[in-house]
Structure 1
Amino acid sequence: MININKIKKVVSILLVFLIVLTTNLVDKDNFNSLKKSVTTIYEDRIVASDLLFESLLLIHEKETALISSDSLFYQKRNKQTNDEIKNYIEVYDQTKLTSKEHILFNEFKNEFNHLKKLEESYVGSKSVNKSELLKSIDKITNKLQSLSKIQLEEGKQQMFISNKTIKTIDLFTQIEIVFLIMMAILVQFIIFYDPKKK
């Protein structure tokens, strides 16, 4: 009888250990999913949205200079503006892009390069008409706005994933509590139950 009691105790302890281990692994997976979603919201959506906004401000600065025929802008500030936009493009390129976003982003980069060539011609020989520059600026503005809308959509998707993961964690937590209570009762029963000899 002593051996049976020891076996009961060992089985009970192993059962509790396995339950705790299993719930821990499930919780870890859920928390990793939540962490990834929150990180994605910040790094790939909020930061990206800020980069688009800053680029749009610089493009607007170019547009204002062009409309007001500010020749000093093209002599002194334009190169710095282009360098800043190029820097934003490089940082944005490091974020995780959706397939649609990747296409739009490539179109934006191509149009930005086209704008720089037009500006060089405009400043150098005045052979480029302002309307061509304004047309290119308008295309860039539209691309940046479309990319910004994607940030909103993808951010919303990541929030949905986060909320779903939180609900799953809550559900598993409740199940774990009920299961642990049942296991505690079962362990007590296994340890203290002693069938009477006839």
Structure 2
Amino acid sequence: MKWTYSIQNKLTASGVLLTLCVLVLFSNYVDRDHTNNVKNSISTLYEDRLIVEDYILKMTIDIYEIKQALHVAGRGGEPSAGQVTALLSHIDGLSEAYLKTKFTKDEDVTFAELLSTLNKFEASASQSDEDKLELANQALVLLNELSSIQLEESKLIMKQVEELYISGKVASQFAFGITIIILVVLQALVFTSKTLPKTLPPSGAQLN
């Protein structure tokens, strides 16, 4: 019965089309999700790693300038107290900006040690230049550790971005493959419906 088969074909075609629509919507959702994840990773890399690395570099330069001033004093020169105070004030501002970024567990511990060292340095007015230099060197070591943390975290973020890109590419290829299969099925249904043999009229109708 051709009409029965035709109805079955239409129902099958409708189901296939519905599946295709769902697949397209799902593919769009996956693409948007991957795009958002990549954007978030890049934002984290910029805001919490690259900018922080700039803070660390500036603080390192300030510490070296403070050490230079202390060396001048050690050679009998007269270091500018105002210069050291200005450098410490600049470091405090950078530290405040640093605190607004996202910390890892190790970074939190290391930065707390750095703040403690800087506080000791600011309170070391009555100490010898050798003690101040020791505190400055400790601060440089901690800044170097913080810089290493930024590098490692940046590598992890880039690895995550690469994994997101690969998974998104695989998902897109899978969705494309399923779409091709669905289109082939639809084409087969259309071709089958067109090539069905015509039903012969009843014998009574031929006699009339």
Q: TM-score, normalised by structure 1?
A: 0.87
Secondary structure, aligned partner of 1:193: helix
Give the 5 Å matches for 1:24-173: 24-69=28-73, 71-74=78-81, 76-118=82-124, 121=125, 127-173=126-172
| Distance in 2 of aligned mates of 1:77 and 1:190 | 84
Q: Distance in 1 between matches of 2:37 and 2:30?
A: 11
Instruction: Give a deviation string over 1:150-174, Cα, whole Å, max 9, x none.
Output: 0011111111111111111222222
2-side partners of 1:7 and 1:129: how far apart?
Answer: 91
Amino acid at match of 2:163: K
1:18 corresponds, among 16, 22, 34, to 22
The alignment's C-alpha RMSD in Å is: 2.0
User: Does the Cα contact within 8 Å between 1:55 and 1:85 map onto a contact in 2?
Assistant: yes
* Unmatched segments (≥5 aa) in structure 1: 122-126
Give distance in 1, aligned partners of 2:179 and 2:78.
Answer: 75
- Asked if the contact 2:63/2:140 (under 8 Å) is kept, the reply is yes
* Same amino acid, percent of matched pairs: 26
The amino acid across from 1:45 in the alignment is R
1:14 Cα deviation (Å)? 1.4
| Cα distance in structure 2, aligned partners of 1:177 and 1:71 | 74
The farther-off stretch of 51-60 and 9-18 is 9-18
Q: How many residues align?
A: 190
Whole-angstrom distance in 2 between the partners of 1:24 and 1:190:
27
Give the CA deviation at 1:6: 4.8
The structure number with the bigger radius of gyration is 2
> In 2, Cα distance between the equivalents of 1:151 and 1:82?
23
Secondary structure (helix, strand or coil) at the match of 1:68 reads helix
Q: Is the 8 A contact 2:69 2:84 kept in 1?
A: no
CA contact (8 A) 1:12 1:190 kept: no
C-alpha displacement at 1:133, in angstroms? 0.2
Map 1:168-187 to 2 at 5 A.
168-187=167-186
